[in-house]
Amino acid sequence: MLGKLMKYEFQASGRMMGLMVICALFITGVTSLSYALDIVWFQVTATTLLVLSMVAVIIFTYVVVAVRFFKSMYSREGYLTMTLPVSSTKLLGAKVIVSLIWLVLSIVVCVGMITLLLFLLYSGNTGSFFTEIANAFGTVDISIWAQYIAFFGGMLLMSMILFLSQVFFAITLANTAAFQRYSIVSAVFLYLGISVVMSSVEAVLTMFVPLGFQMTSQGIQLVGQNMMGMIGTSGTASMSVTIGMAGTIFQFVEIVGLFFGTSQLIKRKLCIR
């Protein structure tokens, strides 16, 4: 049943996301053409449009994800959704998985656009573009690069899941009896409130709890040091960066708690328009 739910979610939001990809491809094509024609004003305009499009792709995807969740759960469509013979956990899980795939797609699109832009900036010397990349990867062992890619990829993935947990919880809470009269406005303010409070707690834990990931040219290792300790340390520490692990642990706990809270609200407190 989870697969069927995911298939329906893909069909419901696929058109909008497909349109986004088509627009991104069109803009990258126009930008490539501007550099091929070597017209300065055209290059400047197209490059500016490409950069703005990168930002627009991310914002558009986040908005689509939030609006789709609201429409499928708390608008007229929600009546049909709630008649499905599935648990709230599976219902929520399908929406999280599909939304996460769309968010990852938006990142892939942006990375592709950034890569194109860098390639075009080296268009006068195409070989130099590939030489710079080879030199960057050649100065550090490939296993170290793999560690960093896996680490920051995992951090990015967790931040996306955290966003989904906060947005879905805020929208669900806003559609309970206490907030439903102004559900859309309530959802926005609830999300902002949750985000600010949780981010503040996370920042404090990250800065002061003596547990972190230390990143050096030798790789990433777990250390009993916080970010404040890094700031106050000189010498060899200047060649390293420490990211507090306590904040990451708190993010994981927050994600579990918010998704659990969302599931419970769907079961017991939900009010559908």
Give pLDDT tens digits for 238-262: 457 778 788 889 999 999 999 999 9
pLDDT digits (tens, 9 = 90+) for 201-248: 998 888 888 888 877 777 777 777 766 655 555 444 445 777 878 888
pTM of the model: 0.83
More confident residue, 269 or 156: 156
In this structure, are residues 116 and 34 in contact, taking their beta carbons and an 8 Å threshold?
Answer: no
Q: How many CA atoms lie within 13 A of 171 on its CB side?
A: 22
Q: What percent of the chain has pLDDT over 90?
A: 32
Provide the pLDDT for residue 36: 84
Q: How far apart are the first and last CA of the chain?
A: 26
Q: Which long-range contacts (CB under 8 A, 24 or more apart) does 136-144 make?
A: 140/217, 143/219, 144/217, 144/218, 144/219
Provide the pLDDT for residue 160: 93
Q: How far apart are CA 134 and CA 161, in angstroms?
A: 33
Provide the pLDDT for residue 131: 63
* In the chain, beta strands by DSSP E: 212-216, 219-223, 241-244
What is the rounded (10 degree) CA torsion for 68, 69, 75, 78? 120
Residue 31 has pLDDT above 70, yes or no: yes
Residue 79 CB partners (closer than 8 Å, separation 6+): 272
**Average pLDDT over all residues of the chain:** 82
Span 76-104, mean pLDDT? 83
Provide the pLDDT for residue 230: 56
The residues facing 221 across adjacent strands are 214
